Amino acid sequence: DQQVKQNSPSLSVQEGRISILNCDYTNSMFDYFLWYKKYPAEGPTFLISISSIKDKNEDGRFTVFLNKSAKHLSLHIVPSQPGDSAVYFCAASANSGNTGKLIFGQGTTLQVKP
């Protein structure tokens, strides 16, 4: 049962353009969402997050949007840079149990072409 889904395995964009990565979830108990970025041969690193009480969070070139009614979130990268080429994972947390358990999607490989 995949509670967090990233339906696009890959995305290719031109440098300077916008990258939009999408994520859907099914569990309405999720109240916190995160995006992680992963380069080859490295572990994932935290990128940006959003609480379910917000619909938008921005950090520099990265913005995450949350649509609770649609159970959908997206990560926008503007402008995209070649160094952004990596695998992006969406993750969710339902912290009612006060644990750090994160549920991850399958990941989307972003390629930014110079």
Partner 1 sequence: DSGVTQTPKHLITATGQRVTLRCSPRSGDLSVYWYQQSLDQGLQFLIQYYNGEERAKGNILERFSAQQFPDLHSELNLSSLELGDSALYFCASSRGQNPKTYEQYFGPGTRLTVT
Binding site for partner 1 (CB under 8 A): 4, 6, 9, 32, 34, 36, 41-46, 49, 51, 89, 91, 93, 95, 97-107
Cβ nearer to partner 1, comparing 66 with 107: 107
Cβ nearer to partner 1, comparing 20 with 102: 102
Cis bond leading into 79, ω under 30°?
Answer: yes
Smallest distance from partner 1 to CB 8, Å:
13
Smallest distance from partner 1 to CB 19, Å:
19
Smallest distance from partner 1 to CB 21, Å:
13
What is the distance in angstroms between the CA of the first residue and the CA of the last residue of the chain? 38
Cβ nearer to partner 1, comparing 15 with 74: 74
Residue 108's nearest CA partner among 42, 21, 16 is 21
Smallest distance from partner 1 to CB 11, Å:
16
Cβ nearer to partner 1, comparing 69 with 99: 99
